[in-house]
């Protein structure tokens, strides 16, 4: 049985679907009791546990052989991961696959890179076998501004440089393979798409899919941070998020990894396909 933390999120949702499609017994963990029925209807065992509730985390891990862990970007994310890793290790889980971020390292130039690195070291020291999936920026983040693109025909470029966007479904598929295939222990899989797109290229793809002219508007760090805080994000996390816009203009988010193709034996999903799948969301 595989226990999945973060099961209802951007990575977790396709991950659970992928595991169930392989006939694996899945225990999906949610902090929201209202989501239990839908998870059970999908074919999972579903349990309620908050990342800050050690007793509930211990129960969630009981009897599991493997675990997947992702937490939201949150000021407490390192403590939350530490809590889950401790619970899984104590429960005898043998192998944990954990989602962090590309470039996570003690020397990372991003706050998130350092936070993720701390969690990676915690997992490596746990005694469990481990696999890391380390994605770059999610293509699904485009949906954050779908309404305003549809309403105004403007793509707000808060990154300011080329980025090798990755589809969260590919992250999930790599994690499914790491959890169900052979030989993924001790591996760190950096995950990117196969192309780097800047704001102009993104606007062109949005325009092609919607049949409209989509213009690009740069977003200042201050405006970007204010918008994130207004949407409910904590100030420290918003500050960490906008650090991406200091790296993208230098080309540091444009590197291409071939891991998705190597692990899955198929190309990475591309931005154009995602936009066309969600065309109605971006159309006015
Ligand atoms: N977005 C990006 O471009 C990007 C790029 C690289 C790395 N990352 C990293 O990827 C991670 C985010 O992945 P994601 O988007 O898949 O996550 P997510 O959708 O933001 O969150 C995953 C799930 O966590 C659960 N959750 C929230 N608070 C909880 C709590 N207190 N206790 C237990 N569960 C809780 C929620 O489910 P319930 O409501 O069901 O509890 C949520 O669906 C972050 O660590 C981020 O740094 C993101």
Domains contained in the chain, number:
1
CA of 12 to the centre of ligand 1 (A): 8
d(CA 207, CA 149): 10
Q: Look at residue 216 and tell me if it is in a domain.
A: no
Give whole-number Cα distances, 194 to 23, 29, 65, 185, in Å: 30, 32, 33, 25
pLDDT of residue 74: 96
CA of 97 to the centre of ligand 1 (A): 15
Q: Look at residue 273 and tell me if it is in a domain.
A: no
pLDDT of residue 284: 77
Q: Domain residues for 79?
A: 2-134+168-191
pLDDT in tens, 192-226: 999 999 999 999 999 999 999 999 999 999 999 99
CA-closest residue to ligand 1 atom 41: 31
Q: Look at residue 11 and tell me if it is in a domain.
A: yes
Atom number of ligand 1 nearest to Cα 49: 33
pLDDT of residue 280: 95
d(CA 265, CA 63): 32
Neighbouring C-beta atoms of residue 113, cutoff 10 Å = 22
DSSP state of 242: H
Q: Look at residue 114 and tell me if it is in a domain.
A: yes
d(CA 130, CA 179): 10
CA of 74 to the centre of ligand 1 (A): 8
Cα Rg for the chain, rounded, in angstroms?
19
Entry pTM: 0.98
CA of 71 to the centre of ligand 1 (A): 4
Q: Look at residue 210 and tell me if it is in a domain.
A: no
3-state helix, strand, coil in the chain (%, to 5): 50, 15, 35
Residues of the chain under the 50 pLDDT cut? none
pLDDT of residue 139: 98
- The interaxial angle of helices 54-61 and 77-91, nearest 10 deg, is 50
Residue in 96, 100, 124 with CA at minimum distance from that of residue 113: 100
Residues with CB under 6 A from ligand 1: 6, 8-12, 30-32, 35, 50-51, 70-73, 77, 99, 101, 112, 135, 137-138, 141
pLDDT of residue 202: 98
Q: Which of 73, 81, 188 to mutate to test the pocket of ligand 1 (most atoms within 8 A of CB)?
A: 73
Q: Look at residue 106 and tell me if it is in a domain.
A: yes
Q: Look at residue 27 and tell me if it is in a domain.
A: yes
Q: Look at residue 196 and tell me if it is in a domain.
A: no
The CATH number of the domain holding residue 27 is 3.40.50.720
pLDDT of residue 273: 98
């Amino acid at each position: 049985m595989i226990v999945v933390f973060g099961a209802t999120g951007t990575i977790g949702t396709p991950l659970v679907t992928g595991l169930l499609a392989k006939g694996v017994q899945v225990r999906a963990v949610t902090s929201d009791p209202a989501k239990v029925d839908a998870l059970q209807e999908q074919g999972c065992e579903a349990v309620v546990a908050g990342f800050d509730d050690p007793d509930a985390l211990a129960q969630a891990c009981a009897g599991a052989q493997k675990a997947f862990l992702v937490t939201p970007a949150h000021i407490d994310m390192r403590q939350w991961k530490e809590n889950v890793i401790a619970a899984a290790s104590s429960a005898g889980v043998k192998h944990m696959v954990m989602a962090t971020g590309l470039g996570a390292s003690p020397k990372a130039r991003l706050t998130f890179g350092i936070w993720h690195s701390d969690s990676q070291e915690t997992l490596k020291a746990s005694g469990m076998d481990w696999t890391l999936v380390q994605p770059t920026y999610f293509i699904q983040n485009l949906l954050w501004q779908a309404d305003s693109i549809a309403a105004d025909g403007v793509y707000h470029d808060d990154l300011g440089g080329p980025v090798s966007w990755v589809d969260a479904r590919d992250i999930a598929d790599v994690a499914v393979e790491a959890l169900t295939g052979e030989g993924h222990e001790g591996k760190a899989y950096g995950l990117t798409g196969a192309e780097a797109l800047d704001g102009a290229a993104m606007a062109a793809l949005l325009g092609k899919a919607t049949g409209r002219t989509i213009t690009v508007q740069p977003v200042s760090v201050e405006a970007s941070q204010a918008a994130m805080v207004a949407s409910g994000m904590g100030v420290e996390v918003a500050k960490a998020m906008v650090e991406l816009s200091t790296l993208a203009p230098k080309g540091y988010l444009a590197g291409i990894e071939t891991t998705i193709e190597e692990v899955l034996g198929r190309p990475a999903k591309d931005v154009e396909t995602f936009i066309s799948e969600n065309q109605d969301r971006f159309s006015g």
